[in-house]
């Protein structure tokens, strides 16, 4: 019998196909003694098919009969067998949230928790189960590909997409409804929800230049990710708009982690000790840069003004509080679910224009700049 997860909960989907709760416990079928559809029918004095129609929201039932069935359901504590209902409708009643990153990033970076919070909140209004899976190795990727190819979920939300990630193409090939958080390139074919990364980065650097900073550097994300490329493009646009040349020594690539921010900041100080402004492409990297600046006796913002991106809890709790570009990560998660539900319920014509949303950003000024 297929695993029977609790309605509305968040579970980890292991690459072996088992569903686990957040404590890591494997779930199996429900316990014995649960009320059956036949018992509900007997209590309500109707046939089994009538009970099924009521549970599935069919309009072909009188109000009196519907009330009797609903009362029997309440009295017996009957819980519909979601697996049976899904099979009958050729549906899995579940969507997968796939994050191709290790646990260290999932639990260390507010971006992922905010996405999960938004996704969970939006799905709470439905009867769909949310399955969370991480991909850390090629073997796990293949296991997930096999799981998805069997259509054991109704749709996929894919977060943290790298340019060479084969999953989006696989999802298209198997005609699995999917929505990406971000894009692989400017020509993305899969539906996505993104932020105005270029515009947000440009506003951050324009702010630093407007504050009188003459040597403004940037710490980028991994440049095999389109989000990092866009934020770098915004930096370059602001520098050129100010009539300055883009100096390669003022660009340090990192990986959206705190340690990456530390390494990049050390490299910038070695190459350009006169740096007086830094735009970090994430708040977490800005936190790493802030540590290195302090270790080197550089005051923020007196000696070096600092700006991040995301406006996460990290930004608000830094000392001094970090100026950051707000991108509404939780709303991105909610929007991804709305787009995915449209894809699941909508026509399967893949030749029509796919949903592509770009949400606005806003610079939030704080003491670090």
Using the 8-state DSSP alphabet, how is residue 20 labeled? E
What does the pLDDT read at residue 91?
Answer: 66
DSSP 182-215: S-SSTT--S-EEEE-HHHHHHHHHHHHHHTT-SS
What does the pLDDT read at residue 24?
Answer: 44
Q: Is residue 263 within 8 Å of residue 290, measured between CB atoms?
A: no
CA atoms within 13 A on the CB side of 8: 4
Q: Is residue 307 within 8 Å of residue 322, measured between CB atoms?
A: yes
What does the pLDDT read at residue 90?
Answer: 57
List beta partners, residue 198: none
Q: Is residue 333 within 8 Å of residue 115, measured between CB atoms?
A: yes
Q: Is residue 72 within 8 Å of residue 36, measured between CB atoms?
A: no
What does the pLDDT read at residue 27?
Answer: 41
Tens digit of pLDDT per residue, the chain (369 long)?
Answer: 334 333 334 555 554 444 444 444 444 334 446 788 788 889 999 887 788 778 766 667 788 898 999 899 888 888 765 555 554 555 678 899 999 888 888 888 889 999 999 999 999 888 788 999 888 888 888 888 888 888 889 999 999 888 888 889 889 888 899 999 999 999 998 999 999 999 999 999 999 999 999 999 999 999 999 999 999 999 999 999 999 999 999 999 999 999 999 999 999 999 999 999 999 999 999 999 999 999 999 999 999 999 999 999 999 999 999 999 999 999 999 999 999 998 887 755 555 667 899 999 999 999 999
What does the pLDDT read at residue 12?
Answer: 55
Using the 8-state DSSP alphabet, how is residue 163 labeled? T
Q: If DSSP codes are grouped into helix, strand and coil, which group holds residue 250?
A: helix
Token duo for residue 103 = 């646990």
Query: Beta strand 277-280 with 305-310: parallel, antiparallel or unpaired?
Result: parallel
**What span, in angstroms and rounded, lies between the C-alpha atoms of 221 and 62?**
59
Q: Is residue 204 within 8 Å of residue 363, measured between CB atoms?
A: yes
Beta-carbon count within 10 A of 203 CB: 17
List beta partners, residue 133: 98
pTM: 0.75
What does the pLDDT read at residue 345?
Answer: 78
């Amino acid at each position: 019998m297929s695993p029977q997860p609790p309605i509305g909960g968040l579970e980890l989907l292991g690459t072996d196909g088992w569903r686990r709760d957040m404590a890591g416990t494997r779930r199996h079928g429900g316990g014995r003694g649960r009320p059956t559809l036949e018992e509900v029918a007997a209590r309500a004095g109707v046939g089994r098919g009538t009970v099924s129609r009521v549970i599935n929201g069919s309009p072909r039932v009188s109000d009196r009969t519907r009330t009797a069935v609903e009362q029997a359901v309440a009295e017996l504590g009957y819980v519909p067998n979601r697996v049976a209902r899904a099979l009958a409708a050729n549906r899995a009643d579940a969507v997968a949230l796939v994050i191709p990153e290790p646990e260290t990033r999932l639990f260390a970076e507010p971006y992922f928790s905010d996405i999960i919070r938004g996704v969970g909140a939006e799905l709470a209004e439905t009867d769909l189960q949310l399955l969370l899976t991480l991909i850390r190795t090629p073997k796990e990727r293949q296991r997930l590909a096999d799981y998805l190819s069997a259509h054991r979920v109704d749709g996929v939300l894919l977060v943290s997409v790298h340019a060479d990630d084969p999953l989006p193409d696989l999802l298209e090939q198997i005609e699995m409804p999917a929505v990406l958080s971000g894009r692989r390139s400017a020509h993305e074919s899969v539906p996505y929800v993104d932020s105005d990364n270029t515009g947000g980065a440009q506003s951050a650097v324009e702010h630093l230049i407007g504050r009188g900073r003459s040597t403004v550097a940037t710490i980028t994300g991994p440049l095999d990710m389109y989000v990092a490329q866009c934020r770098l493009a915004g930096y370059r646009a602001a520098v050129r708009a100010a009539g300055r040349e883009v100096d390669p020594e003022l660009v340090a690539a990192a990986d959206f982690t705190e340690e990456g921010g530390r390494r990049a900041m050390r490299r910038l100080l070695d190459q350009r000790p006169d740096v007086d402004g830094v735009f970090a492409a994430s708040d977490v990297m800005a936190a790493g840069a802030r540590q290195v600046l302090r270790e080197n006796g550089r005051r923020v913002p007196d000696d070096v003004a600092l700006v991040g991106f995301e406006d996460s809890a990290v930004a608000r709790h830094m000392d001094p509080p970090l100026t950051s570009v707000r991108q509404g990560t939780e709303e991105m998660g909610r929007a991804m679910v709305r787009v995915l539900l449209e894809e699941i319920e909508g026509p399967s014509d893949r030749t029509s224009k796919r949903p592509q949303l770009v949400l606005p950003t806003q610079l939030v000024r704080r003491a670090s700049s």
